[in-house]
Structure 1
Amino acid sequence: MSQKIKHVLTVACLIPYVLFAFYLTSDLSWGEQVISDPVKEYGILGSIVLYVIRCMLLLPLMMSACNLFGISYFNSHPKKPVLRSSLMFGPFLCFRVVTRGTYPELVKQNVQRNIETCFKLGLANFVFEVATDRHVGMKKSSQVREIVVPDKYRTKNGTLYKARALQYCLEEEVNILSDNDWIIHLDEETLVTENCLIGIINFINDGQYEFGQGVITYANEEIVNWITTMADFIRVALDYGLQRFSLGFLHRPLFSWKGSFNVSNAGAERHVTFDFGKEGSIAEDCYFAMMAWKEGYKFGWVEGEMWEKSTFTVLDYIKQRKRWYQGINLVLRSKRIPTQLKGGIGLLMLCWTMMPITPMFCVILIHYPLPNSVLFAFLFSLMAGTMLFLFFFGMLKSYPLRGRKLIGLFFVLVLLFIPQITAVLETIPVIWSIFSAQKDFHVVSKEMKSSRGIHIV
């Protein structure tokens, strides 16, 4: 079956999800009670409140449309990337890993594995830089450079945590890269693949954009926590939808970007810097993207995928999201970022913040129905169906099901419940954030011993 046919069939799967969503949400549009005059029934103020609630339920519509466009416009089953130029005269690549040094064996194991992947492809012009708060004991070689960030190091603006380490790497006395070199940012648990390396090289050689990003999947090799892994199906779908639309079509980080699988021109990164102060220290990736956009840099899409694993525990999942929520909120409130650039992340935060009260809004509209609206029924069903479809799509891209019929059936059944579970897991950080301040930079557990060695997240 060709990639185009797979793509068409995948997008066609959206239709039953929209119909299913229409059935589930029919009471919001076609309630049993027929109300022809809401002003007479509820009064002017009551009618206004109910119509405002109905409109607020459609706030995620733009994000659903962007996701749908990204998945349908671009081939959702692309062919394996092929090198379009020789590796002999390729760019110099610096794979930069930032760690606190808490998991030295994990870092050493993953760096070595990533180096082997680079060699397997035929890369030679690269280095892995490990920026760490503590010495991790990296084996010295021409492909590895360990950078220990001194305790006494302070940036001009008092930047903290990961952004502080990233800024240290850009200092004149530390940096070894020219402005024409390229930096690929990885988390300490990130694994590169041959496909993503090919995508990175092609992206750089195209010479159109200073920054780029690709897909990260979370269900590769051994799965440590099934709940968090399936909850992360939506992240994979958002990469193919929302991010590919904003970076691959608009060439702007409209909805921010992730902190790993970032491809950056070294000169452009040094110009933007990571010295954002405290307000840019929690969600440094989001802040950096907004500042780069402000400076006029263009963003592109990188083919291929990198591998990570979801958090080991539900609590770590919640704490991770809490940090993201509070960090992006700081970015949104920053006076250094122009208001006109905050529309995407503002909508993102508004939809996220509304999650705890959305069920209450639905209950209100069911018990206090408004006149039937074909437009509302269509838009709401399309929006809800798209969100349900994204979990299915994320599953397809995360976990190949060929030859695994029982696993496939299991996933299909579980997908009936995972969206609800994920909604709860995404709602808790919002409530927690409202009643508590972000006091530190929470790092999720990434190592656990077993009879087979180290699990990687």
Structure 2
Amino acid sequence: MMLNSKVKHTLHCICVVSWLSFFSWATEGIRFSPTPVDNIDPWIEYGTIITVLIIFLRLLSFLALPQTLFNLVGLVSLNAFRGKDKLQSSPLLAPFICVRVVTRGLYPNLVKKTVKTNINTLLDAGIENFVLQVVTDKSIGLPQDKRTIETVVPTSYKTKSGALNKARALQYCLEDDVSVLGEEDWIVHLDEETLLTEGSVRGILNFITDGTHSFGQGLITYANNPVKFKSFSKFFQNRICTVADSFRVADDMGKLRCQLTYFNKPLFGWKGSYAGAEKKVSFDWGPDGSKAEDCFFGIVALDQGYSFGFIQGEMQEKSPFTFQDLFKQRKRWMQLLRYFLPHYLFFLASWLTMPLTTSNVVLTQIYPMSVSPTIDFLLSLIGGVPLYMYMFGYIKQFPIHRYSWFRSVLSVIEIALASVLSIIVENLAVICMWGGDWYDFYIVEKDNESEQTSQNIV
């Protein structure tokens, strides 16, 4: 029997409350009667220095409370299993749309395949007024027709501020003598492996038709186009990385949706796949604005007073193929944090202090103690919500309704392995983030058919 979206969301909310109640009880964040931990006087049992240190580390975890609450509110208050949205107007009446893909040109076959798939998706949706533009550092031999444009960024091109990497390429497209777009045209940004879906195209069209916001983005999933590998080791690593990215799926459905729906601002960051009209904002913000040009762009647009919204539907991407690429991807994310601390203070500080706050998992076992009933409960909430997000994200991107009971048990093992791996990798990324060239832009491998390996953009 097929359940409608409201029933699914209600069941999901029951699961949220049930899980958080169980997790809080298991970690003694909720206590219905006195427990041994209530009888421990840490000042006498452990001494002043250790007690102060333990209390400090536990209170440090509260840096993650704002994003925990945003994730929880987004997952519970907004329908997590929304059905297909109807088009608000005819696709033939939509303004001109440019789907822009920026690539180094390392994986030409992947880009060509992605371009062909996305063009077919747009045509199937009934859109006629569009072009797909590939912006590349070196030519990939993309067939030229009325639907596709290949723009090669000259090696001699320099922006006024010295922007690097992807920001430099995006700024080149905005130059007056290069741009093929008008002031009212819309741009949809995709990575070189990102696939549009019927739902995301409808969402983009409705977002444009509504006309309330200047920029929008939505859900990205990673498991819908599994990669085939000859090596079992690589298959296993990619599978676990994809399961680990279930957290990112839940993060889109929680925190991202909450901030864009209720506040219309990128309060916790902005990512590279989005739709908008951007020429007045620009990408020319120097080397510091190039490390994470998408997040920096969001800050600049926010400061300039633009409004942001959430786009329904989903786009599809790939997770890193190996644990090494997963680590290097996360390390690059961590390195960009120093540029955004004034804007995303609590969000980014919670990432930077992750090795310290993660130590509470061990220290609570060695030095059990209660700070206060309220603090104990909130700490359980901060720990329980992210763990639920791995489970929820898995459900959103994998077809579990088709799984047998045995396969469902294996899914639990997958989620446990992936969540532990993700936590370890992100902690190592924080510890190792200070090494290496901060202006390198590591590209993870995205095309398993290519014999080329991951390289750096300098």
Report the equivalent of 1:454.
none
- Cα distance in 2 for partners of 1:444, 1:144 equals 25
Report the equivalent of 2:399.
400
Identity of counterpart residues, as a percentage?
A: 41
* 2:170 maps to amino acid: L
Report the equivalent of 1:5.
7
1:264 to 276, 280, 299: 276
**Residue 183 (structure 1) aligned with residue 178 (structure 2):** no
- Cα distance in 2 for partners of 1:130, 1:404 equals 39
Q: CA RMSD in A?
A: 2.1
* 8 Å Cα contact 1:280-1:327 kept in structure 2: no
Q: Cα offset for 1:236?
A: 0.3
- Cα distance in 2 for partners of 1:62, 1:393 equals 20
Report the equivalent of 1:410.
410
* 1:420 maps to amino acid: V
**Residue 303 (structure 1) aligned with residue 318 (structure 2):** no
Structure 1-normalised TM-score? 0.90
**Residue 324 (structure 1) aligned with residue 333 (structure 2):** yes
Q: Cα offset for 1:73?
A: 1.1
Which one is further off, 196-205 or 375-384? 375-384
- Cα distance in 2 for partners of 1:441, 1:316 equals 13
Report the equivalent of 2:422.
422
**What is the SS of the residue equivalent to 1:282?**
coil
Equivalent positions of 1:359-398 (< 5 A) are 359-371=358-370, 373-398=372-397
Q: Cα offset for 1:416?
A: 3.1
Q: Cα offset for 1:50?
A: 3.5
* 8 Å Cα contact 1:17-1:388 kept in structure 2: no
- Cα distance in 1 for partners of 2:356, 2:88 equals 50
Q: Cα offset for 1:436?
A: 3.7
- Cα distance in 1 for partners of 2:42, 2:337 equals 39
Report the equivalent of 1:335.
none
Residues 126-145 of structure 1 show CA distances to partners (whole Å, capped at 9, x for unaligned) of: 00111100011111111111
- Cα distance in 2 for partners of 1:54, 1:106 equals 46
**Residue 286 (structure 1) aligned with residue 295 (structure 2):** yes
* 2:146 maps to amino acid: S
Report the equivalent of 2:348.
349
- Cα distance in 2 for partners of 1:368, 1:35 equals 13
Report the equivalent of 1:126.
130
* 8 Å Cα contact 1:197-1:304 kept in structure 2: yes
Structure 1 residues 371 and 189: alpha-carbon distance in aligned structure 2, compared to 1, 3 A threshold = closer
**What is the SS of the residue equivalent to 2:395?**
helix
- Cα distance in 2 for partners of 1:410, 1:39 equals 44
* 2:382 maps to amino acid: M
Q: Cα offset for 1:324?
A: 1.2
Give structure 1 stretches of 5+ with no counterpart.
333-338, 451-457
Q: Cα offset for 1:192?
A: 0.5
Equivalent positions of 1:206-225 (< 5 A) are 206-223=210-227, 224=235, 225=238
Residues 396-430 of structure 1 show CA distances to partners (whole Å, capped at 9, x for unaligned) of: 11112222224333212332333222101211211
Structure 1 residues 376 and 138: alpha-carbon distance in aligned structure 2, compared to 1, 3 A threshold = same
Structure 2-normalised TM-score? 0.90
**Residue 240 (structure 1) aligned with residue 244 (structure 2):** no
- Cα distance in 2 for partners of 1:165, 1:185 equals 13
Q: Cα offset for 1:24?
A: 4.7
- Cα distance in 1 for partners of 2:270, 2:81 equals 22
Aligned residue pairs total: 436
* 2:276 maps to amino acid: S
* 1:251 maps to amino acid: N
**What is the SS of the residue equivalent to 1:98?**
strand
* 8 Å Cα contact 1:236-1:394 kept in structure 2: yes
- Cα distance in 2 for partners of 1:429, 1:303 equals 32
Report the equivalent of 2:324.
315
* 8 Å Cα contact 2:327-2:425 kept in structure 1: yes
* 8 Å Cα contact 1:159-1:277 kept in structure 2: yes
Give structure 2 stretches of 5+ with no counterpart.
228-234, 451-458
Which one is further off, 233-242 or 323-332? 323-332
Q: Cα offset for 1:384?
A: 1.6
- Cα distance in 1 for partners of 2:76, 2:434 equals 36
- Cα distance in 2 for partners of 1:203, 1:234 equals 25
Which one is further off, 115-124 or 9-18? 9-18
Report the equivalent of 2:152.
148
Structure 1 residues 276 and 372: alpha-carbon distance in aligned structure 2, compared to 1, 3 A threshold = closer
Report the equivalent of 2:80.
76
* 8 Å Cα contact 1:20-1:385 kept in structure 2: no
Which one is further off, 37-46 or 198-207? 37-46
- Cα distance in 1 for partners of 2:382, 2:360 equals 16
Q: Cα offset for 1:99?
A: 0.5
- Cα distance in 2 for partners of 1:98, 1:283 equals 14
* 2:352 maps to amino acid: T
Residues 348-391 of structure 1 show CA distances to partners (whole Å, capped at 9, x for unaligned) of: 22221222222433444444444463212321222222111101
Q: Cα offset for 1:326?
A: 0.8
1:101 to 99, 105, 116: 105
* 8 Å Cα contact 2:164-2:290 kept in structure 1: yes
**What is the SS of the residue equivalent to 2:449?**
strand
* 2:14 maps to amino acid: A
Structure 1 residues 14 and 272: alpha-carbon distance in aligned structure 2, compared to 1, 3 A threshold = same
Which one is further off, 86-95 or 295-304? 86-95
* 2:261 maps to amino acid: G
Residues 104-132 of structure 1 show CA distances to partners (whole Å, capped at 9, x for unaligned) of: 11111110111011111111000011110
Residues 32-71 of structure 1 show CA distances to partners (whole Å, capped at 9, x for unaligned) of: 4555655555666655443322211232122111001011
* 1:390 maps to amino acid: M
* 1:70 maps to amino acid: G
Report the equivalent of 1:449.
449
* 8 Å Cα contact 2:250-2:389 kept in structure 1: yes
- Cα distance in 2 for partners of 1:365, 1:402 equals 37
1:91 to 85, 88, 95: 95
Which one is further off, 167-176 or 81-90? 81-90
**What is the SS of the residue equivalent to 1:423?**
helix
* 8 Å Cα contact 1:355-1:423 kept in structure 2: no
Structure 1 residues 371 and 161: alpha-carbon distance in aligned structure 2, compared to 1, 3 A threshold = closer
